Homo-oligomer: A and B are copies of this chain.
């Protein structure tokens, strides 16, 4: 029996539905941000993030800052690149445009490699781009929340290490970490940045980032100071190292309640084998995608291999727009998201399948979502 009051099931691609224990951790009584109990909790969070990202290399460095997923872009642009550097930004939708804008803010030239909507840049195109110019970083959106497109992170990283080994591999994992398989060490990634409110299953308000030892070396070798203050690793690196060693230190006040909730969420995730969690997300995604196809609907992501396991972008029937179905879905107790990719926003809706809605079979959130979608389309005469 949930301790939460009845409410519509939030099935947008983040924030997601949260487990009771995680939400209860948000109400933790007030603690000093430099007191031993909280410092210990923060230390646990950092150690457990290493497990979630599957990194055992002690040179890897987790960061947890108050903020949102977006702040991870600032961390990358302000700490790993310097004005005049070049970034290759793989484009699968809305978020690449924004990440590129973030780089430009910090004086870094961002070159976007764009795919057709619903697809991703192909490996041979990426290889060609890498051979044409020296890029300090390559960025890829693991799951593009605007299109539901999944990128092939492992293969991309292999390509970068083969063709342009000095280029850092930066993964925007906002809609993937905790739901899609990521092997930080084995895939030789340099940065994976994420937020908490998606497949990690903790309320929004934190920027979570894992940096490789190589990335930290690049940071330490900068010629200029980091050009952010709040997002500066010069300020945060000693703090994160101290917290993980369970020693108190201070740069800016963290959010004890959010850290407690993240601690609870991570301990829940790690109480089961990660591979099983990823399989649960794949299976739930397959069921959703089959049901969508059975309704005669297409996905925005065009090929089975580029379809995310954490969400589905559903193309609406001709003549139907999100306002025709989203309010009707809400009345049936499920919250879908509208379109986000500017060029086609009026033609599709988005369904997230992450966290407890996937791992807790008793909730029935996704069955309810599919049933509601079928009914809503029938109401507008399209199913």
Contact = CB atoms under 8 A, between A and B. Distances in A.
B257 A205 contact: yes
Contacts of A333: none
Contact of A230 (B14, B28, B71): B71
Contact of A105 (B35, B68, B229): B229
Interface in A30-47: 30-35
A35 B24 CA distance: 23
A179 interface: no
Interface string A214-236: 00000000000111111110000
A15 B33 contact: yes
A205 B196 CA distance: 14
A195 B226 contact: no
Copies in the complex: 2
A229 B229 CA distance: 12
A253 interface: yes
Contact of A77 (B14, B16, B229, B255): B229
Contacts of A203: 30, 255-258
19 contacts: A15-B33, A18-B29, A23-B27, A23-B28, A23-B29, A30-B203, A34-B337, A66-B66, A66-B68, A70-B252, A74-B228, A74-B230, A77-B229, A106-B227, A106-B229, A197-B253, A204-B257, A205-B205, A205-B257
Interface string A1-38: 00011010010101111100001101111111111000
A67 interface: yes
Contact of A73 (B4, B17, B66, B230): B230
A254 interface: yes
Interface in A87-133: 101-102, 105-106
